[in-house]
């Protein structure tokens, strides 16, 4: 693949695409509203049914969708860049498995069933799982290498997933709470959850952008990166911290939406080129667009019984990934 972007204006085009996705998320659903009506009730709470729908239901899920999409898109690009594995996604670090076990234990032991309570347990579980993966996969406690890290992540994920199954299958109420979380959805969450994860997503995005130069250097090979004065260990640690913050907060808030971080970088890379200074922010924006679009599709297809965004992303993303693989565009990293 050429090292230059095939569509130089692609980052600029993503901004209006995100604005369009936000507008669609506010006006479309089981009760369709006009854009003018949605804007009016956003600016003026007149106590109408439209105001309740937009301000109390659709606005919180739209904001959460933007945050989670930004986080998972950027985290996927970082994971594939650092591991040089086109099949890598944020779950490779055990983020999803750690959050799942924490949510299951919280429901089983403490009877935590609300999304507002789950988010903190999920985030804590994701952080702890990542720390364990790092402790096992790092060499000498400081040297971070992608292959041992991936193997450690696979082992920890398998163990935590087994423990989660034991917890949820032994108790029916826990299983009921867990199955609602594990499908991955941005609906039914209040604005407090977005406020809770906002600092972590913002910090993760800052670290991700700071990490792009190191990613470009590492893509040339570790020896070449060191020759350019780049600390490979520091770069990998920064990337690991960014992925943990981004994927951990998004998974804790919305549940595992695994396909997003896997597919989005492959959709974006042919248009941005391999330069991570373009790839990472474009993957973040594209992730937000795709997640909001999937949520809107789930509302329109399911009607009153909405299809969770995580399921729609898996169907759409899986189909897109198959097409990418069959057309030979699954790049070697």
| Enclosing domain of residue 27 | 10-326
Q: Looking at residues 17-26, what average pLDDT do you find?
A: 94
What proportion of the chain, given as a percentage, has pLDDT over 90?
41
Residue 100 covered by a domain: yes
Q: For residues 291 and 67, give the distance between their C-alpha atoms in angstroms, rounded to a whole number.
A: 10
Q: For residues 24 and 3, give the distance between their C-alpha atoms in angstroms, rounded to a whole number.
A: 35
Q: What is the pLDDT of residue 163?
A: 95
CATH for 247:
1.10.3470.10
Helix pair angle (232-254, 115-137), 10° resolution: 150
Residue 5 covered by a domain: no
Q: What is the pLDDT of residue 304?
A: 66
Q: Which residues make beta-bridge pairs with 143?
A: 139
pLDDT of 215 over the 80 cut: yes
CA 155 from chain centre, in angstroms, equals 21
pTM of the predicted model as reported, rounded to 2 decimal places: 0.89
Q: For residues 210 and 204, give the distance between their C-alpha atoms in angstroms, rounded to a whole number.
A: 10
Which span out of 36-50, 63-77, 187-201, 234-248 was modeled with the highest average pLDDT?
Answer: 63-77
Confidence band for 187, pLDDT divided at 50, 70 and 90: confident
Q: What is the pLDDT of residue 4?
A: 55
Burial status of residue 309 (CB atoms within 10 A of its CB: 0-12, 13-18, 19 or more): buried
CA 178 from chain centre, in angstroms, equals 19
Mean pLDDT (the chain) is: 86
Which range is least confidently modeled, 19-23, 270-274, 324-328? 324-328
H or E element in which residue 95 lies: helix 95-109
Q: Is the dihedral of CA 248, 193, 286, 256 positive or negative?
A: positive
Confidence band for 190, pLDDT divided at 50, 70 and 90: confident
Confidence band for 29, pLDDT divided at 50, 70 and 90: confident
Residue 137 covered by a domain: yes
CA 43 from chain centre, in angstroms, equals 30
For 230-251, the pLDDT digits (tens) are 777 788 889 889 999 999 999 9
Of 239, 218, 257, give the one whose Cα is nearest residue 78. 239
Instruction: Count CB-CB contacts under 10 A for residue 91.
Output: 23
Of 70, 43, 28, give the one whose Cα is nearest residue 291. 70
pLDDT of 19 over the 90 cut: yes
Residue 2 covered by a domain: no
CA dist list (Å): 119 to 122, 194, 202? 5, 10, 17
For 87-131, the pLDDT digits (tens) are 788 888 888 999 999 999 999 999 888 888 889 999 999 999 988
Q: Looking at residues 213-224, what average pLDDT do you find?
A: 81
Q: For residues 73 and 286, give the distance between their C-alpha atoms in angstroms, rounded to a whole number.
A: 7
pLDDT of 318 over the 90 cut: no
Q: What is the pLDDT of residue 69?
A: 96
**What are the residue ranges of helices labelled H in 183-275?**
191-210, 212-218, 222-227, 232-254, 258-272
pLDDT of 329 over the 60 cut: no
- Number of domains the chain contains: 1
Residue 155 covered by a domain: yes
Q: Looking at residues 158-168, what average pLDDT do you find?
A: 94
Q: What is the largest CA-CA distance in the chain?
A: 64
Q: What is the pLDDT of residue 140?
A: 53
The helix/strand/coil state of 273 is coil
Q: What is the pLDDT of residue 61?
A: 93
């Amino acid at each position: 693949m050429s090292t230059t972007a095939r569509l130089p204006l692609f980052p600029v085009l993503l901004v209006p695409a995100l604005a369009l996705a936000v507008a669609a998320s506010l006006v479309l659903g089981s009760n369709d509203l006009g854009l003018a009506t949605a804007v009016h009730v956003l600016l003026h709470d007149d106590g109408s049914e439209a105001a309740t729908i937009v301000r109390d239901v659709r606005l919180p899920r739209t904001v959460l969708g933007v945050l989670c999409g930004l986080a998972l898109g950027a985290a996927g690009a970082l994971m594939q860049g650092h591991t040089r594995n086109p099949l890598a996604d944020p779950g490779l670090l055990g983020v999803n498995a750690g959050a799942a076990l924490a949510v299951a234990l919280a429901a089983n032991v403490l009877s935590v069933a609300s999304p507002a309570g789950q988010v903190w347990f999920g985030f804590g579980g994701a952080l702890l799982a990542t720390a364990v993966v790092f402790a096992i996969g790092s060499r000498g406690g400081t040297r971070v290498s992608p292959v041992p890290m991936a193997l450690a992540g696979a082992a920890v994920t398998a163990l935590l997933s087994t423990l989660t199954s034991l917890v949820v299958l032994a108790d029916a109420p826990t299983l009921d709470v867990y199955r609602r979380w594990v499908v991955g959805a941005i609906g039914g969450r209040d604005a407090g959850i977005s406020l809770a994860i906002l600092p972590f997503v913002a910090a993760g995005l800052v670290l991700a952008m700071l990490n792009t130069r190191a990613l470009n250097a590492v893509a040339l090979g570790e020896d070449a990166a060191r020759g350019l004065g780049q600390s490979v260990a520091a770069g990998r640690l920064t990337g690991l911290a960014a992925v943990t913050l981004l994927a951990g907060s998004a998974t804790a808030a919305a549940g595992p939406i695994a396909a997003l971080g896997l597919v989005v970088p492959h959709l974006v890379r042919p248009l941005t080129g391999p330069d991570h200074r373009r790839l990472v922010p474009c993957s973040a924006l594209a992730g937000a667009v795709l997640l909001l679009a999937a949520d809107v599709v789930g509302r329109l297809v399911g009607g009153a019984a909405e299809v969770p965004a995580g399921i729609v992303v898996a169907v759409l993303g899986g189909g897109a990934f198959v097409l990418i693989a069959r057309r030979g565009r699954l790049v070697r990293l």
